[in-house]
Amino acid sequence: MATAGPTRIEDDPAASRDAWLRTRTYLNGHRHELTDAALRDFKPEDFIPGTRLLARPGWIPDHPVPLEDVQLAWADEAPATPIDGDASELDRIRPISDDRTRFRRYSDAVEHLARPRLFENRSCYRLLDVDGGVRPSLTFGLGAYFDVIDICEAAAHEFTAAQLDGQAGPPTTPFRAMVGDPTDLARRPVMAATSTMVLRLDRATGDAEFVLHWRDPAKVASGGGLYQVMPVGMFQPSHDAAWNQANDFDLWRSISRELSEELLGSTEDYGSGIAPIDYDAWGFYRSLWHARTDGRLRVFWLGLGMDPLTYVTDMLTVAVFDADLFDQTFQRLVTTNDEGHRVELEDGTGRASGIPFRADQIMRLTHDEPMQPAGAALLHLAWKHRAQLLS
Amino acid sequence: MPGSLSISVRECRLCGTDLAADNQSGLCSPCQHQSKASAAPEVPDDFWDAAPLRQALSDRHMGQVIRAYRQHPFHRAAFGRRGIPQSSVGDWLVLTQAQVSRMESGSPPRNLDTLIHIARALRVPPGLLWFSLPQTESGAADRPHLPRQDQHPEPVVQASQEAWRSVRRRLNAERAVLSEAAAQLYDPTLRVESSALLAPAAWLAQEPVPLERVTLRWDPAPVVPILDGTAHESLGTRPLRLPDQRFDRYTLAVRYLDSPTLFENRPSYRLTGVRWGGDGAGELRFSLATYFDKLDLCEAIGHEFAAATESGSDHPRWGQLALRRAVGDPFDLRIRPMIPAITTLLLRRRPDGEATFFLHWRDPGRVATAGGLYDAIPAGEFQPSSVLAPPDGPDFDLWRNIVRELNEELLGAPEFDGSAGRPLDYERWTLYRALQRGRETGAVRAYCFGVGCDALTLAATIPSVLVIDDGIFDELFGDIAPQNAEGITVAALPEQQPATGIPFTEQNITRFLRNEPLAPPGAACLALAWKHRRLLLAPSPCAP
């Protein structure tokens, strides 16, 4: 169709891509402020008390649950959902490629216009059901990582674009309106990350400190520019080869891999493209397993929740290391990694490995600093339950 | 109807001794003697069927419930023909005989805390009450179901409580010395004029701010504190109440093991924001909490410090102070409920520009905090005058709170302390109107210095100063009460009347700051007032 007048921006590929990039850049630079604005779309009772994380009743246990008491169930058939990343509601935020077609999915746009260093569609465990209680049970099926980009990042992008246009509310964010209640696990495919707060407990003094990470927006696809606990990783098989699916379907195995990769900078290649990981033969895993059995390492489940801006889902866990075990395990604790750098608090002693687990630090990070809502919620809940975690 | 009572207990309920056949009280004589002194006895179920009790309960008049309870025929066996004296009931309720008398003959007490306290102390069956008793986790500990005893039968409990009492005594006896030692844990630049009151620079105004330029704002949605008196870090400051259980809160231990005369929980204002501008004005933000929220944490922090110094070291290290360490930053208003008192130095200004000041002495046996010390007068918690008044209404005002404390502490008048049934009508109150007129003419001036925390307890205070010209002072406070119900005596030099005050001279200031046990808030007020004396004692603009 020939047009006589000036080209409208939405028909101009270069202009549409510039607009998309501007929004994307703004999103990555202002996640904390945008989250503040996104809070207003929810009722106070939708949040875990004292946090900015959304949760359904029963998702957060009254007390920390030892991780070994959390049951995982597998569903072969993961049902289709009414919402996916193809929704036409997302058209208005889809940039136009040179052939004048719109990028079909948000991940396509990210891949071509703003590709981060780590960007790979891999299979993930998809969360299907949560049964809370004293012994929580989680049901998973198989899903794909790019659903997180196509739905969660797209929803955040849509929200950002509306904010930049000076608009707010459901009419300006039709995709978010269609998603509706983000905690409804049947409406969209929900992948979950495990966020683990690593505490180093000095039993002699009773003092504890925790590991904190700064996510570099230049290095990660989502959650850049924010503080976060460490390690955090998608709950997913170590490799797409089918034999990993059952072998890696275990929260502790997943957390162990993340501890090794993020805190020690070890490789993400476990050779599981050739054969499943033999966890019992892996020294790091074995020594942590021994520490868990003799109580020098205790791991707890604190529940799960969703980010109000991105709808990203985080399972909240705490790993409490006795100081000796921590020092021995993490002698070569990384300072920077592929996603950002570890935050140290200079206390004049030259040996700080983390942030003191103290009321003022918790208050500062949960209220004054840009911290990812899941990490902040984890800090808040860990502090609330510190008597049990540190006993 | 004494004949209808049937008692089946044949052993003393407390020590298990066999009882004499005619003993109807359920307690052996030694235990009876002890329980008479400390707590209400157990009564049979049909005790509550007596007509006068039923009437008082259906009238919802707790004062008359107390009277009917005291005069119940059941008590004649143990207490004689006239029943239980008001003073004994007062001991159980931690009230004076006069307060019990007023409660019995006056209008019904309405403060829910008071009602709950009395109902529990007298063990009124919950089903007969017109209000419900809180069913909290700490309910079991809160209820004085056992008569308070000097010695718990379990040796381990006994030892724990004795050790706690000993530390508590030391805390009360040596607050000034302990505050000074605790101040050394912190950056010396935090000390307000070298006192043991600590404040960051942002909490202090550059110059005293006239009270009318301090704006109070109500904070409708304050951050929920993440540290309170139930924190596990305070376990070490709470004694055992049973062999396997500690008191749930510090105030519960105080109530049962070391109760001062006045020890009542009341609504209190919680500070949530401090801002002093460069323009000589300021803003304080508040929400509401309770007095015990403050004591549960602050007294425990002080207790922990006193315990750490007992082991020989005068200067405990942070390592021994788990609770203080958990607080981290004592000036973060969100971490813990910060519930400030208002401490006001009173200056009586003579026409020649000279002045005198007033201090009081706090009897450690009668006040909950800061006993055994000199402090500025008036000093008191910042609280609504009545539970029925809206917390952000007329009581939400520093000046009005100061006047209420003046009335109580200098004139010995009853306290408008939050237990009254009716909100206070300030405009119809003569003293208030007179002082208000004085402020308008400049003969009465009030200033705020800022906010600070006592290094020992980390309890917050708003130090302030009140300057009253001689003439109006004489008119209003000529008859200073030498002692009031809080165990407070106005200090005077040997040859002078209390109303004259102590000459505001460098020599006297130095004497109190250096040589006398002076509470840190009072010390800060005195030092700050001396520093700013020219501004404070300048001739009033409208004075004749």
Quick: pLDDT tens for A334-367.
888 777 888 877 655 555 568 999 999 999 999 9
Is the sign of the CA dihedral B219, B223, B224, B227 positive or negative? negative
How far apart are alpha carbons B333 and B223 in whole angstroms?
9
Closest listed residue to residue B32, CA positions, set B3, B63, B75, B82: B75
- CB atoms B329 and A359 under 8 Å: yes
B224, B326, B335 ranked by CB distance to A50: nearest:
B224
Q: C-alpha A2: how far from its chain's center?
A: 46
Indicate the angle between helix axes B155-173 and B291-310, nearest 10 degrees: 100
Query: How many helices and strands (H and E) does chain B possess?
Result: 19, 18
d(CA B382, CA B520): 18
What is the spatial distance between Cα A377 and Cα B138, in angstroms, rounded to a whole number? 27
* Domain A9-389: which CATH number of 3.90.79.10, 3.40.50.920, 3.40.1190.20, 3.40.50.300: 3.90.79.10
Please, what is the angle between helix B250-257 and helix B291-310, to 10°? 80
* Contacting residues for A126 by C-beta, under 8 A, at least 6 apart: A78, A140, A141, A142, A143, A147, A189, A190, A191
CB A247 within 8 A of CB A257: no
Of the candidates B263, B334, B261, which has an alpha carbon nearest to the alpha carbon of residue B296?
A: B263
Find tokens 């004795």 and name the residue: B162
Lowest mean pLDDT among A64-73, A110-119, A140-149, A305-314: A110-119
Q: Which residues of A touch B327 (CB under 8 A)?
A: 359-360
Q: Which of A206, A356, A359 sits opposite B226 (nearest CB)?
A: A359
CA atoms of B349 and B356, how far apart (whole Å): 7
Please check the confidence at residue A7 and state whether its pLDDT lies above 70. Answer: no
**Which residue in the set B231, B322, B335 is minimally distant from A363, CB to CB?**
B335
Residues of A in contact with B227 (CB under 8 A): 359
CA distances in angstroms from A263 to A232, A335, B66, B381, listed in the order given: 10, 8, 67, 50
Residue boundaries of the structural domains of chain A: 9-389
Residue from the list B232, B319, B326 with its beta carbon closest to the beta carbon of A358: B326
> Which own/partner pairs from B87-95 qualify as long-range (CB within 8 Å, at least 24 positions apart)?
B88/B36, B88/B37, B89/B40, B91/B37, B91/B38, B92/B38, B92/B39, B92/B40, B92/B121, B92/B122, B92/B144, B93/B66, B93/B117, B93/B118, B93/B121, B94/B255, B94/B259, B94/B261, B94/B262, B94/B263, B94/B264
Q: Which residues in chain B touch residue A380, judged by CB atoms under 8 angstroms apart?
A: 226
B453 lies within 8 A of chain A by CB: no
Contact B449, B204 (CB under 8 A): yes
Nearest beta carbon to residue B327 from set A206, A359, A367:
A359
CA angle B38, B115, B105 (to 5 degrees): 85
Q: Count chain A–chain B contacts defined by CB atoms under 8 A.
A: 40
Q: At what angle do helices B398-411 and B430-441 cross, to 10 degrees?
A: 120
Task: Determine which helix (DSSP H) or strand (DSSP E) holds B438, and give its type and residue range.
Answer: helix B430-441
Any CB–CB contact under 8 A between B224 and chain A?
yes
What CA–CA distance (Å, rounded) separates B424 from B405?
A: 13
Query: Using beta carbons and an 8 Å cutoff, which residues of A are at the interface with B?
Result: 49-50, 205-207, 356, 358-363, 367, 380, 383-384, 386-387
Q: Please give the Cα distance from B406 to B415 (Å, whole number).
A: 10
Q: Do A84 and A150 contact (CB within 8 A), yes or no?
A: yes
Please name the helix (run of DSSP H) or strand (run of DSSP E) that holds residue B276, with its range, or none: strand B267-276
**Is residue B110 less than 8 Å (CB to CB) from chain A?**
no
Contact A360 B329 (CB under 8 A): yes
Residue B94's φ and ψ, nearest 5 degrees, are 60, 45
pLDDT digits (tens, 9 = 90+) for A151-186: 999 999 999 999 998 877 677 899 999 999 999 999
Residues of A in contact with B304 (CB under 8 A): none
How far A196 CA sits from the closest chain B CA (Å)?
A: 21
Judge residue B201's burial from the number of C-beta atoms within 10 Å of its C-beta, 0-12 exposed, 13-18 middle, 19 or more buried. Answer: exposed
CA A15 to chain centroid, in Å, comes to 32
More confident residue, B105 or A76: A76
Q: Which amino acid is at B196?
A: A
For residue B1, the model assigns a pLDDT of 34
Instruction: Determine which of B187, B226, B234 to mutate to test the interface with A (most A C-beta atoms within 10 Å).
Output: B226
Task: Give residue A288's identity as a one-letter amino acid code.
Answer: L
Residue A266's Cβ-side half-sphere holds a number of Cα atoms within 13 Å equal to: 18
| DSSP-derived pairing of the beta strands A313-322 and A190-201 | parallel
> How close B381 gets to chain A, by Cα (Å)?
25
**Quick one: closest CA in B to A208, which residue?**
B326
Q: How far apart are CA A62 and CA A68, in angstroms?
A: 17
Q: A260: which DSSP letter?
A: I
Calculated CA dihedral for residues B66, B67, B70, B76, nearest 10 degrees: -160
User: Which of A363, A367, A389 is the best residue to mutate to test the B interface, defined by the most B CB atoms within 10 Å of its own CB?
Assistant: A363
Chain A residues with CB-CB distance to B319 below 8 A? 205
What pLDDT is stored for residue A42 in this prediction? Answer: 95
Beta bridge partners of A300: A66, A318
Q: What is the pLDDT of residue B2?
A: 33
Strands B488-490 and B483-484: antiparallel
What's the rounded Cα separation, in Å, for the pair A180 and A200?
A: 40
Q: Which residues of A touch B223 (CB under 8 A)?
A: 363, 367
Q: What pLDDT, on a 0 to 100 scale, did the predictor assign at position B393?
A: 87
Task: Inspect the interface and report whether the beta carbons of B226 and A362 lie closer than 8 Å.
Answer: yes
Contacts of A356 in chain B (CB under 8 A): 328
Write phi, then psi, for B22 (nearest 5 degrees). -90, 5
Q: Are the C-beta atoms of residues B376 and B343 closer than 8 Å to each other?
A: yes
Tell me if chain A has a CB within 8 Å of the CB of B241: no
- Check CB contact of B334 with chain A, cutoff 8 Å: yes
- Per-residue pLDDT for chain B (544 aa), expressed as one digit of tens each? 333 333 334 554 444 556 665 665 555 555 454 444 467 877 877 888 888 888 888 888 899 999 999 988 888 777 777 888 888 888 777 777 777 888 888 878 777 777 888 888 888 887 788 777 765 433 333 444 444 445 667 899 999 999 999 999 889 888 889 999 999 999 999 999 999 999 999 999 999 999 999 999 999 889 999 999 999 999 999 999 889 999 999 998 998 887 766 677 888 999 999 999 888 999 999 999 999 999 999 999 999 999 998 765 667 788 889 999 999 899 999 999 999 999 999 999 999 889 999 988 877 666 666 677 889 989 999 998 876 677 888 889 999 999 998 888 887 776 555 555 567 788 888 889 999 999 999 999 999 999 999 999 999 999 999 999 998 998 888 767 666 666 667 777 777 777 788 999 999 999 999 988 899 999 999 999 999 999 999 986 654 4
Q: Where are the alpha helices (DSSP H) in A52-149?
A: 106-113, 146-147
CA A33 to chain centre: 18
The Cα–Cα gap between B402 and B346 comes to: 11
Q: Are strands B282-290 and B214-218 parallel, antiparallel or unpaired?
A: parallel
CA angle A16, A19, A23 (to 5 degrees): 140
Calculate how close chain B gets to A323, using CA atoms only, in Å.
16
